[in-house]
Every structure is written in structure tokens, then in C-alpha cells.
Structure 1
Amino acid sequence: MVNTFYTSEIDSGCLQLFNDLCEQKALLPLAYLLHAWPIHGPTDASLRRLREALKVLAELSDSELTSPNRRICKALFLKLERSLCDFSHGTPYGVRPAQPG
């Protein structure tokens, strides 16, 4: 099923991370990112894979990932968490379903 809540903000954050990792020649983090991104036609499974890759990246040692890149990973991870949670409930992030009555 296609997840329509995947945002260009997540994609542009991943692109920034990709560019930084390429510039730093950080091969291990780059391999983790490229395992899950770029995403073509975001599905629940592909977003979960990206979320897990970002989680692993954020947990790498300081010698493998810079602090700014770790912050990017954590921020993207949280956005994906919200997106996946809201997707499972069928509502976009920040929109509350109508209350009965």
C-alpha cells in the first residue's frame, strides 16, 4: 500500500545526509542509507526500512557519523515515526479524526 504521508521534507533531509556522507567519504553510513533510500513510490514497508536504517545510523559511533548528521538522522527518524503512526490510523499527521456526536 502506498503511504501518501511521505513528505518532500523527509526526502530532502535524506538527500542532505547523502551529500554530507559522500563528501566525507563515510562508506559505512552511506551503505546503510542507500539500503533504504531513495524511495520510489513510498510504501509502508519502504518507510519502515528507511526508519530502521536511520535508527542504525543514529547509533553509529562518533568516528563513523558526525554530530550534525546524527541530528539529521534522529529528526528524520522521528518524522517517519509520526508518518507511519498516522498512516496506520489513516489520518495525516496533525489532523484529528472527526469525533462522533
Structure 2
Amino acid sequence: MFPDDINAGCFELFDIWCERRAAGPLRHLLRAWPLSNSLTDDWGDLHEALRALRANCRTEISDAEMTTVDDLISAVAVIVFQR
């Protein structure tokens, strides 16, 4: 997954959660996204935000959304830890 794909995935979740007014997941996502400068620290912040979202918002998001979150966590981890 490329950075543009990660950004698109975050935007998709953002759009779904705004429509549904899912404040919990949005609070976690918006803590680190959109990225301000795409440096490693920003990617690390996004990685941590997505992991916190997964841990704290399981009851507020669907299985499909959880799968997207898991995929994003894996993709961001590649950028953060293997650069």
C-alpha cells in the first residue's frame, strides 16, 4: 500500500464516520490525520492513533471498518519501521 492509498483509506473512514457522527473513532483518527508534513514522526503518530482507535472503538465501528483500520495499521507500520 502506498502513502496515497493510506490517505485514501483514512479519508474513506473519515467520510463514513462523519456521516454517522461516530465521535469516538473520529477523535482518534483526527488526532494524527491528515498528516502535516509526511515525515516519519507524522506516520508514527498516525500508527499510534490507529492502534488506539482499534483498541478503544471496537463497539463503534463495523467489521468492515475494523478490517480497513487493521490494513491501514499494517501499511503505516511498513512506512514507520522499514524506512
Tell me which residue corresponds to 2:71: 75
Q: Give secondary structure in 2 for the equivalent of 1:59.
A: helix
Tell me the TM-score normalized by structure 2: 0.89
Unpaired segments of 5 or more residues in structure 2? none
Tell me the TM-score normalized by structure 1: 0.74
Tell me which residue corresponds to 1:34: 30
Q: Give secondary structure in 2 for the equivalent of 1:28.
A: helix
Displacement after TM superposition at 1:41 (Å)? 1.8
- For residues 4 and 30 of structure 2, the distance between their equivalents in structure 1, rounded to whole angstroms, comes to 17
**Contact residue 57 and residue 65 of structure 1 kept, 8 A:** no
Tell me which residue corresponds to 1:58: 54
Give the aligned length: 82
Distance change (3 Å), C-alpha of 1:33 and 1:61: closer
1:43 is aligned to 2:33? no
Displacement after TM superposition at 1:80 (Å)? 0.7
Distance change (3 Å), C-alpha of 1:41 and 1:75: same
Q: Which runs of 4+ in 1 moved over 4 A?
A: none
- For residues 44 and 7 of structure 2, the distance between their equivalents in structure 1, rounded to whole angstroms, comes to 14
- For residues 58 and 49 of structure 2, the distance between their equivalents in structure 1, rounded to whole angstroms, comes to 17
Unpaired segments of 5 or more residues in structure 1? 1-5, 88-101
Two-structure CA RMSD over aligned residues (Å): 1.4
More helix by share: 2
Displacement after TM superposition at 1:82 (Å)? 0.9
